Structure 1
Amino acid sequence: MCRIGSIKSKTPVHPSVALNLMLPQQEGHDNSGFALVMQDLDGVFGHYKDKPLLSLACTPQGVQLVNDYMEEKGFVQVAQWVPDVDRQPGLKIEAMPRYIFRNYEYPEIYRYRSPEEREDLLLDTRLALRGLLDEGNNGFVYSFWPDVLTLKEIGDPADIAVYFRLWNDDGRLTARNILAQCRQNTNYDIVRYAAHPFFLQGYTLCANGENTFFTRNKEFQKSLHRGYIGFESDSQNFLYTLHYVLHELRWPISYYKHVITPLPFVEVEKRPDRKVLELIRESLTHLEINGPNAIIGLLPDGRMIACCDSKKLRPLVLGGDDDMLAVSSEVCGLNAVLPRRDAARDIYPHEREMLVIDNDLAVRRWNQ
Structure 2
Amino acid sequence: MLEQHATELLRHTVEETFPLAREVMTLDARQYTCPERFAQEKQQIFSRVPLVLAASCELRKPGDFKTVEVAGIPVLLVRNREGTVHALLNACTHRGAAVASGCGSAARFTCPYHGWTFAQDGDLVGIASSTDFGAVDKTALAMKRFPVTERAGLIWVILDPDSSHDPADMLGGIDELVAGFGFAGWNHIESRTMHGPNWKLTFDAHLEFYHVPVLHRETFGPERSNRAFYFSQGPHQRVVAPRGRPGDTAKDDLYALGRLPAADEPFDPLLVGEWILFPGASINTFYLNGQRGVLLSIVLPGPDVGTSTTTQTFLAETPPDEVTRAAMEELCTFLARVVGDEDLPTSALQQKALATGLLEHVRFGQNEGGLQHFHRWLDDLLKADDAELAALLAEPCPQR
TM-score range, shorter chain: under 0.3
TM-score (normalised: structure 1): 0.26
